[in-house]
Amino acid sequence: MNPTPSPEMDAYRLMKTCPRFRTCSAPACPLDLRQSGRPVYPGEPACRLSKRMRRELAKGTALPHGGLTGREAEGEKRWQGKTEEERQAVLERLAKTGFARLGPAGGDIA
């Protein structure tokens, strides 16, 4: 008889879906179901998998931030809270720097 999987095992299985899992050294994985409870220290490596790929891997999971880091999720929340006029003003400022084609979570803006 197989035991019921623990939350830690479920978290491990989800992180293992990452194509960089075997070579990653980032201690705070955005695909970790318990990410929000893990400390992050200055100078530690960060996840280098694209936001788009992390969001795709996180579809249909119980991840609280949908594959984003806490900081990325907070930025997306702020972006969603802006009016269309505020978004356009931000995009105009970003156009001067060349970053206007990307949204707050790394996705293309339509």
| Mean pLDDT, rounded, for 25-34 | 89
CB 57 within 8 A of CB 17: yes
Residue spans per domain, the chain: 7-71
Write out pLDDT tens, residues 36-91.
788 888 999 999 999 999 999 998 888 889 999 888 999 999 999 999 999 999 98
* pTM value surpassing 0.85: no
HEC profile for the chain?
CCCCCCHHHHHHHHHHCCCCCCCCCCCCCCCCCCHHHCCCCCCCCCCCCCHHHHHHHHCCCCCCCCCCCHHHHHHHHHHHCCCHHHHHHHHHHHHCCCCCCECCCCCECC
